[in-house]
Chains A and B, each alone.
Chain A
Amino acid sequence: NAGVTQTPKFRILKIGQSMTLQCTQDMNHNYMYWYRQDPGMGLKLIYYSVGAGITDKGEVPNGYNVSRSTTEDFPLRLELAAPSQTSVYFCASSSRGGRVSDTQYFGPGTRLTVL
């Protein structure tokens, strides 16, 4: 199992550009999450999904969009990049299926800089 994979690892964007951060998991987890991590701060939840076709906002959703067409993939879209979106982005997944299991497995992260 590769676990949770993210691409790209690094990206520099200009203000106003758009991009999609990719996230894939091969553990057949139904829950997936996107977090951002700013220096000296904890992880803040951007969006999450409880299954294919279902997404919901987290603490800091403004400026982002997500979709979940398959169990494996959960891409994060930035439409008009702003300097405030400079951060490290982590994707995570967990399994909940009637049996409580809250362990979240994280990908290696994408470091995004908006100039």
Chain B
Amino acid sequence: GENVEQHPSTLSVQEGDSAVIKCTYSDSASNYFPWYKQELGKGPQLIIDIRSNVGEKKDQRIAVTLNKTAKHFSLHITETQPEDSAVYFCAASIVGNQFYFGTGTSLTVIP
């Protein structure tokens, strides 16, 4: 099956700085890559996703980039705020099939 690796496991940034989280996947057939944010005591919530037919997608301060050749994708958060502090998970799937999740990145934004 698919194997998704995520780095780093923890990340601390100063408020206003950027944060980057990277994931790699093993199955070249994967074509859907969502990112989830999980706040303490809550379930994961989708924040952005990208399909394999595009290389980049932006939504305000959040962007995701995808490199199909290298089989990696990244989450970029600009102008970080304390409320961005959470655990972030990447996932990969073939549309219509199960998700494979990374192990998560605990992001702390220091005011």
Contacts and interface: CB of A to CB of B under 8 A. Distances in A.
A4 B6 CA distance: 27
A-side interface size class: 20 to 34
Q: Binding site of A, secondary structure by majority: helix, strand, loop or mixed?
A: loop
B99 A45 contact: yes
A106 to B, nearest CB: 3
B-side interface size class: 20 to 34
B99 A106 contact: no
A42 B35 CA distance: 12
B1 A103 contact: no
B46 A42 contact: no
A109 B1 contact: no
A80 B42 CA distance: 27
A53 interface: no
Interface of A: 4, 33, 40-45, 48, 58-59, 90, 92, 96, 100, 102-109
Contacts, number: 58
A111 to B, nearest CB: 9
Contacts of B95: 100, 102
Contacts of B98: 33, 45, 48, 58-59
Contacts of B45: 106
Interface of B: 1, 4, 6, 9, 32, 34, 36, 41-46, 49, 89, 91, 93, 95-96, 98-104
A104 B99 contact: yes
A25 to B, nearest CB: 12
Contacts of B43: 4, 90, 92, 106-109
Contact of A41 (B34, B49, B93, B103): B103
B34 A102 contact: yes
